[in-house]
Structure 1
Amino acid sequence: MAEAFVLAAFAALLGAVLLLSRRRQGRVLARRAALLDPCRRLFADTRLRCDAFGFPRMAGTRDGLSYDIQIVPDALAVRKLPALWLLVSLPQSMPVAFTLHLMLRPTGAEGFTRFRSLPNQHDLPAGFPADAALRSDDPVALALAPLLQPLVTLWGDTLKEIILSPKGLRLTLLLEEADRKTYLILRETDLGQTPVNPAALSRALDALAGLRAALHAPAPERQVA
């Protein structure tokens, strides 16, 4: 009898733990899924879906341009702190025949990008941070590097990369980092605590629209506001 009682108590305890774990996981997924909800008002229409980890991806139209907004977790072991990246893309044909890619503070472990696959490494023009790297698939792409420099100044340490390609434009921004103490001591992280700031996303959308306009302008007039 005593043994049966112990087994029953253990089963009940295990069931309670599993139930609490499922409820917590449900709350985490629900919170992650809502990270882009405050930003819906920036667009005339939106379409949203979530990945297997609950992080959302949203497509929307703003001022006649279609954007793609993606939240990507980066928890590779080589990173000191896991992070969330906000990828803001304008997937539209651009009047260029090459890809120009600026990466800030490259580590070689950026799983969200194909930066290292580009064959040409360029010296940084004046005005770019010393810890940046610039690559392309055609040396002539370097002529458009000055269009990227104002965006680096605008975003500072939050900016991770700028991509300019025939298929579109992208800004990658740091959205959130894991709590240092919790991660370094317990190796635990719960990314996705804070919804995306609509004002910050609006600035990114406007920056991509400005870069697109600069690319379409006659060469002597090219500049990014």
Structure 2
Amino acid sequence: MSPTTAGVLVVLAAAVLALAVQHRGARRADVHERAHVFDALVPRLADARLTGDAEHGYPVLTGRLDGRPVTARVVVDAVTLRKLPALWVEVVVHRALAAGGTLNVLRRPTGTEFFSPDAGLPHELAPPPGVPRPVRVACASPDRAPSTTVLAPATALLADPATKEVGVGRHGLRVVLLVAEGDQTSYRTARRAVFDRPRVDPDAVARAVAVLEEVGDRVGDVVTAPVGTGA
């Protein structure tokens, strides 16, 4: 082997080693950020509990916010081409409502929202007054879904650019909020969805949940007969 060839091989080996070290470092950083995404929200919840493995995805947070059981999940949206990846948080308020079906509001629909039930809701309804366009308001059955008038308390929430979706159904209410947009350089060069220290904003979640509670009050809770009444 000539000295020149040996030199080239040494340079290549050093480059491969450097890339491997860089990759391991980036992976450790990604795991760390995923593990801490709910750091600011956890203290706001009673009975807060994190489940899941940050090595393979974002944790799921459950607990009680103002006495109501909630679940918060992080969604990485890197499906749409020519658009930076987005990190969303889906917050579900668990509440048995007197709703015959689902009513859903999707802001800025693209047709690629894999985290949304919108694609399975064939009936499009007129948007409530004050809700900015573009928007799709939809349900499975107009005869069973709540009236769009129940969404009146959510007008300002839906006008917020950080709000992607609001939904109402028999088992509760949900909202999808923007947490962060992906790093442009990482996405353009390596198609990696990298987010700079993403943290779920507890105040934004608390405000959204308060609005959902108002919407739920308009729908009404399921009334169950007391035990022993024979009803």
TM-score, length of structure 1 as denominator length = 0.83
Q: Percent identity?
A: 30
Following superposition of structure 1 onto structure 2, how do residues 72-221 of structure 1 map, counting pairs within 5 Å?
Answer: 72-78=75-81, 80-140=83-143, 144-155=147-158, 156-180=160-184, 183=187, 187-191=191-195, 193-216=197-220
1:127-177 residue CA offsets vs partner (Å, 9 max, x unmatched): 332311111112135652122133131352221111111122101112222
User: Which amino acid in 2 is paired with 1:170?
Assistant: R
Alignment CA distance shift 1:127-1:16 (3 Å): closer
Residue number among 33, 36, 39 corresponding to 1:31 in the alignment = 33
What's the offset of the Cα at 1:18?
0.8
1:221 paired residue number: none
For structure 1, which segment, 2-11 or 64-73, has the greater mean C-alpha deviation from structure 2 after superposition? 2-11
- Structure 1: distance between partners of 2:162 and 2:177: 5
Alignment CA distance shift 1:192-1:140 (3 Å): farther
What's the offset of the Cα at 1:17?
2.6
For structure 1, which segment, 123-132 or 209-218, has the greater mean C-alpha deviation from structure 2 after superposition? 209-218
- Structure 1: distance between partners of 2:208 and 2:199: 16
Higher helix share: 1
TM-score, length of structure 2 as denominator length = 0.81
Give the secondary structure class of the aligned counterpart of 1:24: helix
- Structure 2: distance between partners of 1:12 and 1:210: 61
CA contact (8 A) 1:32 1:192 kept: no
User: Which amino acid in 1 is paired with 2:67?
Assistant: G
- Structure 1: distance between partners of 2:21 and 2:146: 59
Aligned-residue RMSD, C-alpha: 2.7
Give the secondary structure class of the aligned counterpart of 2:119: helix
For structure 1, which segment, 90-99 or 177-186, has the greater mean C-alpha deviation from structure 2 after superposition? 177-186
For structure 1, which segment, 2-11 or 128-137, has the greater mean C-alpha deviation from structure 2 after superposition? 2-11
Unaligned runs of 5+ in 1: 219-225
1:223 paired residue number: none
- Structure 2: distance between partners of 1:192 and 1:112: 22
For structure 1, which segment, 28-37 or 126-135, has the greater mean C-alpha deviation from structure 2 after superposition? 126-135
1:9-63 residue CA offsets vs partner (Å, 9 max, x unmatched): 6434423431232022101220122011111111111121246653232111223
Equivalent pairs, count: 218
Give the secondary structure class of the aligned counterpart of 2:61: strand
